Amino acid sequence: MLIRKIIALSLAATAIGCWSMSAKNSDSRSVNAETDATPFATPKPKAAPTETPASSSTTSTSNMNATGTFYDNLPKTLSRPTDDVSKLLLREYGSVFVTKATPPAKIVFEDEADVSAFQKSLTRDSSSIGGYTVTLQKPAMDALKAAIAEAQKSGLSIGPRGGDSSMRTYAQTVTLWSSRVRPALAHWSAAGKISKADAARINALSPFQQVSEVLGLEEKGMWFAKDFSKSIIYSVAPPGTSQHLSMLALDVKQFDDARVREILAKHGWFQTVSSDLPHFTYLGVNESELPGLGLKKVTSGNRTFWVPDI
């Protein structure tokens, strides 16, 4: 039920945003997940829309003759998802798991220690790009630098949107999550939909434990996005699920430029979250290899997204 609703909302999305942490108060940002303007994190100021509504031109090409399915290409160390929440999260952000760099160790990291241990296991590289420090897994950084060099030959720039556009910590994902969960619990409690005791109990849970509780309440129609009209998943990334935690994502300032997107794709950086326009994911393969990894091509407007074919 929940999944069907979310899919429906995805199709209805008119803009998308990135789960950026720097935009807590930023209804002024053109694309960001914080404003709850539309499904999927979307923050786009009503006054300055720049994106083609996804619903107007979305087409999907399924991988009919895959040599490998998405699930078959998941890391062997990753437990196959058995619950609806994990499946939903994989469907929404799972492309990162087929990267040729080091994929996330879990579908949902449990806490700061969990994320930190994983991040420490990675070979990372930091570089000042566009006035901000960018930190990525080394293969992702190498590919980004190659893309930047190629872009420069054509007089183009490629850089981050802000200081939080690459690696993030677990705490950053929690802050945003809580900013939605607390008000929503108060709202549904005041509306008599859940008891005060239940609201207090959920408030006291760890963010990791809250994820399934919140999505369970949403299944009953108690939405947790900022305006309580849609799923929280379209507003903020559940704690521990962001691709940025794995240092394989970059929110690109020049995401609107088709030439930039083409150069990034040539160097293994693809758009993988169909409602998150500035967000690019390092997969590290040629585009022609993606169907064989279980991803399918989704086009929206003139943009190409590679999402799990599940």
Q: List interacting residues with Zn ion (CB under 5 A).
A: 18, 249, 251, 279
- Shortest distance in whole angstroms from residue 1 CB to Zn ion: 28
**Cα separation, 186 vs 182, whole angstroms:** 6
Are the beta carbons of 242 and 249 closer than 8 angstroms?
A: yes
- Closest to Zn ion by CB, 89 vs 249, is 249
Q: Between residues 278 and 291, which has the closer beta carbon with respect to Zn ion? A: 278
**Which residue shows structure tokens 């309440």?**
217
Alpha-helix runs per DSSP H in the chain: 2-12, 54-57, 84-93, 112-121, 138-153, 170-190, 196-204, 207-219, 258-266
- CA–CA dist 305, 251 (Å, integer): 14
Choice between 18 and 134, CB closer to Zn ion: 18
Which of residues 109 and 188 has its CB atom nearest to Zn ion in the complex?
A: 109
Q: How far is the CB of 306 from Zn ion (least distance, A)?
A: 15
Vertex 94, ends 89 and 99: CA angle to 5°? 160
Least CB distance to Zn ion at residue 183 (A) = 23
Residue nearest to Zn ion (CB): 279
Report the nearest approach of Zn ion to the CB of residue 19 (Å). 6
Taking the C-alpha atoms of residue 225 and residue 114, their distance in angstroms, rounded to an integer, is: 26
Centre a 10 Å sphere on the Cβ of residue 84 and count the other Cβ atoms it contains.
15
C-alpha to C-alpha distance for 49 and 179, rounded to whole angstroms? 25
Whose Cβ is closer to Zn ion: residue 101's or residue 222's? 101
Compute the chain's Rg from CA coordinates. 18
CB of 18 to Zn ion, least distance (A): 4
Q: What's the min distance (Å) between Cβ of 251 and Zn ion?
A: 4
Least Å distance between CB 20 and Zn ion? 6
Looking at the Cβ atoms of 23 and 293, the one nearer to Zn ion is 23
Nearer to Zn ion, 160 or 291 (CB): 160
Rounded to 5°, the CA angle 32-233-161 comes to 20
* Residue nearer to Zn ion on the CB measure, 173 or 189: 173
Torsion angles phi and psi, residue 99, rounded to 5: -60, 150
- Taking the complex as a whole, the smallest distance from the CB of residue 34 to Zn ion amounts, in Å, to 12
Alpha carbons 160 and 139: distance in angstroms, whole number: 17
Sign of the alpha-carbon dihedral angle for 139, 144, 147, 153: negative
d(CA 199, CA 194): 7
